[in-house]
Structure 1
Amino acid sequence: MPTKPTPQQFFRRRNRQLLIILLILIGIYWLSMVLVNFQTMSSLAQVPAGLIWLAKNFIPTQRSLSYLGAISFQLWRTLLVSIASTICAGLFSLFFAVLGAKPTAPAPYWRVIVRLGASLVRNIPVVAWSMILLFSFKQSDFTGFLALFFMTLGYLTRAFTETIEDLDPEKLNALRAVGATYLQCVFCGVLPEVATTLMSWLLYMIENNLRDATLVGILTGTGIGFLFNYYFKSFRYDAAGLIVLLIAVLVIALELTSTRIRKAIA
């Protein structure tokens, strides 16, 4: 009968495993560095000069404040697109999640269809969605809306599905035992239980989409992303720096608001 290892032997074995994993990761990094001819030390040596350049050029100045009106307007438009795309995607995701979650799926094949569809949509980057949709819908806010919508649809469908599957199945079984219909089970037994978690996911995706909307705007020529690209290519780095600062402030404000909402509905 094998003897139980002592605490010293257990921690010694665990440290040895961690060391092996660390060495493997270092080996993978070194191999990647050699294959792409990446010079680590010379690149790190350039970091201070790059940070100094950013501090000199991207700090907002008195002149950049004259662009505040245009920047605020485009930032507001970007925020609205982010919120609208997230809410619309959330509604569709909830519908698909109910069809795809194990406790509420009307038939087993719905689970397969929903999961495959969500994986396909989710694993296409938002940049790729923007480029694909750009050929069909041209440069417009609607193109950015659709790019954010499809990416959010994949993420929220999976998140909502897993949230519903974490429910206690006994509650649904009790409702079915007293003769509740499928819709009654969904609206009375499922949605009230997961509403808080679903709202948290929705608020998180609004924050995430605001950041992604900047990149989408650069590609689709709309919103705050287009304005940032325009100022950057015009060598008005102070105005571009003001845009970055305002985006950061808005994202932090959204995070604080989301935290308050989560606490209120918890």
Structure 2
Amino acid sequence: MKQPKVTAASYLGKKRLVQSGVLALIAGIYAIGCYILQFDTIQGTLSIPKAFAWLAINFMPTQSSMSYLPQIMEKLFDTVLMSIASVVVAAVIAIFFAILGSKVTGINKFMQVLVRGIASFFRNIPLVAWAMILLFSFKQSNFTGFLALLLMTIGFLIRAFMEIIEDEAGEAMMALKATGASYFQVIFQAVIPQIIPSLISWILYMIENNVRDATLVGILTGTGIGFIFDIYYKSFRFDAAGMTVLSIIVVVIGLETLSNQIRKVIL
């Protein structure tokens, strides 16, 4: 039996129908959610300008808030150092597990599945959950914030490093294996040198990301810049809280600019 010919018009029409159905489904879920939560979309949209106006008036740094700047910068410096330390330690751990778990360099199938499971476990638990879990064991301390950032970063970097190894180091590894090189010679003379630029790029990205996340972790664990912001906000010193937010923004933009320049050099 001859099958009907599929024309471009019928294909595009079917694609539009599927897209319209997906959009209608999303809109329906949103409408049901608003009904259950009793959320007024129109009222919520109209309140956005008022909210930003309130922030502009109350969170605007003033001349008096400059007196808080030394304390803010001290805590912000601690936060940046904690973020860098967590990424560096996580990168050392992640590269070891990534080599064991990669399809290219993995020792066996069991180890590959185990490492991927570990990475998925650490990556899929939210940072807030890690902070709350560790808070019960280690109380409010810099070490608690460091561990929360470390565990989440390990999960992300293991996954990223495994993909880098599989995408970039396969050919170099096969070429060195053909010369009779041992497993460790292949790893240290072919795999790692080949992927170093991409590893550094990911490490820089995670440092930027962890500086932002460390603010939230600090609120929960009583450490760093997040703790200072929480104190200022709860004591209604909104100008000092605004100065804190502004300092975080400046530092994050500075780190991002610096890391982009480093990436241009190494990649």
2:229 aligned partner, one-letter code? F
Distance 1:115 1:126 in 2: 19
Give per-residue Cα distances to partners, 1:162-183, cap 9 Å, x unaligned.
1111136343222222111111
Instruction: Pick which of 167-176 and 131-140 moved more.
Output: 167-176
Alignment of 1:138-149 (within 5 A): 138-149=139-150
Cα displacement (A) at 1:37: 2.1
**Which residue of 2 is the match for residue 109 of structure 1?**
110
Distance 1:55 1:169 in 2: 53
TM superposition score normalised by structure 1: 0.96
Pair 1:248 & 2:249 matched:
yes
**Which residue of 2 is the match for residue 86 of structure 1?**
87
Cα displacement (A) at 1:109: 1.0
Distance 2:252 2:216 in 1: 15
Cα displacement (A) at 1:94: 0.5
Distance 2:6 2:61 in 1: 61
Instruction: Pick which of 85-94 and 168-177 moved more.
Output: 168-177
Distance 1:179 1:3, change over 3 A: same
Cα displacement (A) at 1:125: 1.1
Contact 2:104 2:166 in 1 (8 A): yes
1:33 aligned partner, one-letter code? C
TM superposition score normalised by structure 2: 0.95
1:22 aligned partner, one-letter code? L
Give per-residue Cα distances to partners, 1:243-266, cap 9 Å, x unaligned.
111111111111111110001001
Give per-residue Cα distances to partners, 1:82-118, cap 9 Å, x unaligned.
0000111011000100000011011211101101111
**Which residue of 1 is the match for residue 266 of structure 2?**
265
**Which residue of 2 is the match for residue 24 of structure 1?**
25
**Which residue of 2 is the match for residue 215 of structure 1?**
216
1:41 aligned partner, one-letter code? I
Task: Extract unaligned runs of 5+ from structure 2.
Answer: none
Alignment of 1:16-165 (within 5 A): 16-165=17-166
Number of aligned residues: 266
Distance 1:215 1:183 in 2: 41
